[in-house]
Amino acid sequence: MRFAPTRIPDVVVVEPDVLGDDRGFFMETWHERAFGEAGIEARFVQDNYTKSSGGVLRGMHYQVQQPQGKLIRVVVGEAFDVAVDLRKTSPTFGQWIGQTLSAANRRSIWIPPGFAHGFFVTAESAEIVYRCTDYYVPEHERTLLWNDYDVAIEWPSFGPGQPVLSTKDTEGDLLKDADVYA
């Protein structure tokens, strides 16, 4: 495995070693020792699996209590995955990082606790799996507005009628009004 820090160094892209032949392929998606050697100490308590149609944008979600670190990968299709730093004392507070994840590139992204997370499906559909370091607690969930001008996420181009959003995601908070981490 190769670990490549992004311009927000705590967010890391993981490139797996893929062993393949005419029968298919094999790859490790989590290896505690390798991640630990890369400085990522994580204990996962919950795995999630989501499927979304093309043009769907989900996010930007986070929990103000029991914040979740997430190891995310796309197993079918493609999505543009985004993390926004909500740690008030961080030098990258309010900054975002985006990464295209796909079944073809087999990359994962590690997003530590303290970030809002979301994605936009850039293929006909996408199936995404992610491991979380803490449990989902609905009463602690918050949503940062996906198109906040102060954050200025550069989403891929949207087609007609896109992005497709939930009511929760259209009513997210602006960064200046959001609950953030100390």
* Identity at 45, one-letter amino acid code: V
pLDDT of res. 26 = 95
Backbone angles phi, psi at 34, to 5 degrees: -65, -40
Q: What is the pLDDT of residues 12-46, one digit of tens each?
A: 999 999 999 999 999 999 999 999 999 999 999 99
Nearest to 164 by CA among 59, 72, 70: 59
Q: What is the pLDDT of residues 95-145, one digit of tens each?
A: 999 999 999 999 999 999 999 999 999 999 999 999 999 999 999 999 999
Task: Count CB atoms within 10 A of the CB of residue 50.
Answer: 13
Length, in residues, of the chain: 182
Which pLDDT band, with edges at 50, 70 and 90, does 153 fall under? Answer: very high
pLDDT of res. 47 = 97
* Identity at 69, one-letter amino acid code: G
pLDDT of res. 74 = 98
Q: What is the pLDDT of residues 71-91, one digit of tens each?
A: 999 999 999 999 999 999 999
pLDDT of res. 39 = 96
* CA distance linking residue 53 with residue 41, whole number of Å: 33
> What is the topology classification, in CATH, of domain 42-177?
Jelly Rolls (2.60.120)
* CA distance linking residue 163 with residue 55, whole number of Å: 5
* Beta-sheet pairing, 24-27 with 46-53: unpaired
Cβ pair 84, 60 in contact under 8 A: yes
Which pLDDT band, with edges at 50, 70 and 90, does 1 fall under? Answer: very high
Residues classed as catalytic: 61, 130
Domain ranges of the chain: 42-177
This prediction has a pTM of: 0.95
